[in-house]
Chains A and B, each alone.
Chain A
Amino acid sequence: MNGITLTLRLLHHGEQHLAGELLAVADRHRTEHEVHHVAKDLAGWSREHVERLAGTGRSYGLELGAPPSKPSPALLTMVRERAAQAVGHRPEPGLLLLRDLRELHLDATGNSLHWEMLAQAAQAARDTRLLELASSCHPRTLRQMRWTNTMIKNISPQLLTSL
């Protein structure tokens, strides 16, 4: 395994993880409607990245696998959503929401740094296909980071001063 395939593997794992986490957060915060809906939209980006990484990986002899067709078992989604609704009238889940957004942000940041590495390696190796992949996916990762940051900025004053 060389540095490029290692980075592809790490990114594939990271994007798959982020897609799953975004969906889990969407379920867990069913009563936070903006988080719920936008997290699902953003999970779509990560899933697409996973697919593209898997496709590109094949040319490098990697079997990375497609994203799971059912992102989250229906039963688990239901349990998470019910749990969210049960505590929807309480302020404490606000802390959990901030923690989850922070984790998402850090996960996305990890992916962003790996995209950066991949782009750098692609340039050094004069690998235009890899560079194209990184240039087309990395901006969306940055947008995922910016979203989590904006959400934290907007809601933390209320959530942290009202406990």
Chain B
Amino acid sequence: MDARVDRIARPWGGRTPYARHGQWPTRVDTHLVDGVTADEVERWVQTASVLHSGGDAMDIAVRDGRMVGVRGRAIDRVNRGRLGPKDLFAWQAGASPDRLTRPLIREGGRLVETDWETAMNRVVSRSRELLGERGPGSIGFYTSGQLFLEEYYTLAVLARAGIGTNHLDGNTRLCTSTAAEALKESFGCDGQPGSFDDIDHADVIALFGHNLAETQPVQWMRVLDRLEGADPPRLVCVDPRPTQVARRATVHLAPRIGTNVALLNALLHETIRHERIDHAYIEAHTVGFEELAARVANCTAEWAAAICDVPARLIVQAAEVIGTTGRLLSTVLQGIYQSHQSTAAAVQINNLHLIRGMLGRPGAGVLQMNGQPTAQNTRECGANGDLPGFRNWENDDHVAELAKVWNVEPTTIPHYAPPTHAMQMFRYAEQGSIRMLWISGTNPAVSLPELTRIRSILSQDRLFTVVQDLFPTETAQLADVVLPAAAWGEKTGTFTNADRTVHLSDKAVEPPGEARPDLDIFLDYAARMDFRDKDGGPLLPWHDPESAFEAWKRCSAGRPCDYTGLTYGRLRGGSGIQWPCTEEAPDGTPRLHTDGIGWAHPDECESYGKDLLTGASAGVVEYRSLNPDGKAMIKAAEFLPLHEAPSQEHPFQLTTGRTAYHFHTRTKTGRTPQLNAAAPDVWVEISEADAAARDLEEGDLVEVTSPRGALRGRLRVTDLRRGALFVPFHYGYWDTPAGSGPDGRTPGRAANEATVTDWDPVSKQPLFKTAAAGLTLVEKGGGQPSPAPTTTASEPRPGSRVPATEGGPSARVLQTTATDRASQEGAR
């Protein structure tokens, strides 16, 4: 059955209900540019989405050497043909006229076009100078969550063993480092326990700070389809905003921002008090239960209600829903990860599952999610403040093994301290010990907290900045050398989504001008730097994506993220495959910890753990004594008051986040007509009570202020919790006259003008949810609505006269569903 659906107005499209334990029906979404029909498409080229961490599999339609549309892949386990709004439309951004097509270098204070030879020579000569004068610690690399596995791995080898620096991290620090850290703390090692397929089987789905509807819209379609089928799941939602998830939830808790640990300790208290625990599982597979029981003994629902400002009866009710089901799936995202005590909170969610024995079975699992599409790969490949293959930097055997894979001496690989995290790298650049920063595929001048500080760091004369990107971003405008990179669809590689599914992404079209794949740029740099292994051979002997993938497979062998059973050939044509994929498990592995805990043994674990409050390292001796047999670790944490509490001058809590229509700093989605029109400018959400108390209404232009800076946006009044302000973090300055930051004529527009420089001491993930903020009226709206979409968590309160968000004819998407079981099978 075919239908045409405006997928801006209806981001999740039509329903295909299915029953619990059934197979999610196929629905193929296709979007082709006006005037091109399916039979005019010359080639369909396989790939998956790089606009969120869902990994929706799709094919790119190519005609006359250009992309002309996309179609979901019905065969893929992740999405069964469905695509989200960003998947459907954002591919158009690659053909934007303002793509970077030639390298740029700074001459006399201005960026001017040059050739690759000149640009690379400048990068290489600065690298050599710094290595000679100041040593490897003067060079840092800050990468992305949007490159491919082969590129991260290449970067990790050249940085860690070529330059020999400890300073390599990804912007995945901002989105996924708490997920990784929470898994290390509980299970000894990174690795997503659950699978998206658990949505098919769960009886209760608890979403903690996870606006699934907007962050991974296709998996939300899956939940919606189950909600409309037989034996639907009940949802528990923890979120200060009235998200689509909250609207469909059996219990919605909107705690005061920064109080997640208190809330979770109360949920654990209730679970233990009512004996809703699996003693046999605890005994067989965990250590530390007694400490948790003691820690939460006094954390009653009433105690938490006072801290979190939610009714105690709702906490009790949520605990009952979570505690009485036999199949619990929990998912976790930025409402936990970017908030106060992030790792401590994320670990308490793991604890809920450990004490209830809800792991490793269909419908019983945890998804510690990621925000960015290829965040999983920065973690695996050692480009996110870890060593490649989830190796433990404190374990000399692991370092020796890695050195063997790379054929270098172990001392070549810095491992005297943990790999430097991004926030510390920017601090080192600020105080002057890092003198060269190579930024690939990310835009810190919009995405990091406290932007006045970040711009001042990036603008220093003594800091040599290389920016490798698709567009002249706010960050690129501050660089010394700008390298034009090829985009998704213009290069080949693989990447892995949040449930460990590996997809191949083939090249569909040529990159514009002289733009080159990130892999080629890194390999070119490595060749020019003449990095050698200990026998004098090239340190990076691979030359293209497939040979890089084969090199990575050798590095991953025997580790949890084992890719040895995968090849480009196996990934081409079929569905994505979940790692570990080996000779023994050639079809991949849906769930981890199905038979006890996998990688927590002291000799195998990725981390010996940290103090959940201070971030202090525990060390191998303590790890061995507490967890000699490699079980899961139940770690308790006490609630700590916020670092920046609201005050008279700054009475609100500013919380930032995303919308369904944009990704990251809008470099692609802001250049996509349908998506840009759906959410064209920044806005500020406020609760009805706070708006009424200040005589503010929809559309009023307000200024949000903090001790760090200010931004302006038009007000949207919603059912947000009282005391909070929400601002989307996507908006920057590239599409304003100012260019890279606010100036006399362009007021602040980025949410991060006002956020605070503070991070979780355990995961080092910055806090984007908790800044104290003030609010002032700039001018009345006079009937002009806020540019916020009406279809999402920013939906206005009932009765407002805001026009509904629509996409019109250019947003109509063909939706093909099978009408009966037989044709459904045929479609696959």
**CB contact between B431 and one of A34, A88, A154 (< 8 Å): that residue:** A88
| Residue pair A33, B427 in contact (C-beta under 8 Å) | yes
Given the interface pairs A33-B759, A162-B138, the reply to whether A89 lies near B611 with Cβ below 8 Å is no
| Residue pair A147, B432 in contact (C-beta under 8 Å) | no
A-B pairs under 8 A by CB, number: 87
Residues of B within 8 A of A38 (CB): 614-615, 761
Number of interface residues of A (CB under 8 A): 30
Q: How far is the CB of B453 from chain A (nearest CB, A)?
A: 9
Residues of A within 8 A of B613 (CB): 41, 143
- Cα(A146)–Cα(B417), bound, Å: 15
Residues of B within 8 A of A155 (CB): 417, 424
Q: How far is the CB of B434 from chain A (nearest CB, A)?
A: 8
| Residue pair B761, A157 in contact (C-beta under 8 Å) | no
- Cα(A91)–Cα(B433), bound, Å: 7
| Residue pair B431, A90 in contact (C-beta under 8 Å) | yes
Q: Does A129 contact B (CB under 8 A)?
A: no
Query: A126-163 CB contact bits vs B (8 Å, 1 = yes)?
Result: 00000000000000000110110110011101110110
- Cα(A38)–Cα(B616), bound, Å: 11
| Residue pair B417, A89 in contact (C-beta under 8 Å) | no
Residues of A within 8 A of B641 (CB): 44
| Residue pair B643, A150 in contact (C-beta under 8 Å) | no
| Residue pair B433, A89 in contact (C-beta under 8 Å) | no
Residues of B within 8 A of A161 (CB): 135, 137
Q: Does A56 contact B (CB under 8 A)?
A: no
Q: Does B430 contact A (CB under 8 A)?
A: yes
**CB contact between A146 and one of B431, B614, B759 (< 8 Å): that residue:** B614
- Cα(A38)–Cα(B759), bound, Å: 10
| Residue pair B430, A88 in contact (C-beta under 8 Å) | yes
- Cα(A157)–Cα(B433), bound, Å: 11
Residues of B within 8 A of A157 (CB): 137, 166, 416-417
- Cα(A91)–Cα(B431), bound, Å: 5
Residues of B within 8 A of A33 (CB): 423, 427, 757-759
Query: A76-99 CB contact bits vs B (8 Å, 1 = yes)?
Result: 000000000000111101100000
Interface of chain A residues 34 through 69 with chain B (CB within 8 A): 34, 37-38, 40-42, 44
| Residue pair B432, A149 in contact (C-beta under 8 Å) | no
- Cα(A44)–Cα(B614), bound, Å: 12
- Cα(A139)–Cα(B423), bound, Å: 29
| Residue pair B431, A93 in contact (C-beta under 8 Å) | yes
Residues of B within 8 A of A153 (CB): 417, 617
Q: Does A107 contact B (CB under 8 A)?
A: no
Q: Is the interface of A mostly helix, strand, loop or mixed?
A: helix
Query: B305-334 CB contact bits vs A (8 Å, 1 = yes)?
Result: 000000000000000000000000000000
**CB contact between B761 and one of A32, A34, A91, A94 (< 8 Å): that residue:** A34
Task: Return the chain A residue nearest B640 by Cβ.
Answer: A41
Given the interface pairs A143-B616, A146-B611, the reply to whether A40 lies near B431 with Cβ below 8 Å is no
Q: How far is the CB of B445 from chain A (nearest CB, A)?
A: 18
Residues of A within 8 A of B438 (CB): none
Q: How far is the CB of A142 from chain B (nearest CB, A)?
A: 10
Q: How far is the CB of A161 from chain B (nearest CB, A)?
A: 6
Residues of B within 8 A of A159 (CB): 433
Q: How far is the CB of A160 from chain B (nearest CB, A)?
A: 10
Q: Does B596 contact A (CB under 8 A)?
A: no
- Cα(A157)–Cα(B764), bound, Å: 19
- Cα(A153)–Cα(B394), bound, Å: 12
Residues of B within 8 A of A154 (CB): 417-418
**CB contact between B433 and one of A37, A42, A150, A162 (< 8 Å): that residue:** A162
Q: Does A109 contact B (CB under 8 A)?
A: no
Q: Does B134 contact A (CB under 8 A)?
A: yes
| Residue pair A94, B431 in contact (C-beta under 8 Å) | yes
**CB contact between A158 and one of B428, B616, B759 (< 8 Å): that residue:** B428
Residues of B within 8 A of A147 (CB): 611, 614-616
- Cα(A143)–Cα(B616), bound, Å: 8
Interface CB pairs A-B, < 8 A, 25: A31-B430, A38-B614, A38-B615, A41-B640, A41-B643, A89-B460, A90-B432, A93-B431, A94-B431, A143-B613, A144-B614, A146-B616, A147-B611, A147-B616, A149-B616, A150-B616, A150-B617, A154-B417, A154-B418, A155-B417, A157-B137, A158-B428, A161-B137, A162-B135, A162-B428
Known: A34-B424, A41-B640. 20 other contacts (CB 8 A): A33-B758, A34-B761, A38-B615, A40-B643, A41-B613, A41-B643, A88-B430, A89-B460, A94-B431, A146-B614, A147-B615, A147-B616, A150-B616, A155-B424, A157-B417, A158-B420, A158-B428, A158-B433, A161-B137, A162-B428
A-B CB proximity, top 6 nearest: A162-B433, A146-B616, A147-B614, A150-B616, A147-B616, A33-B757
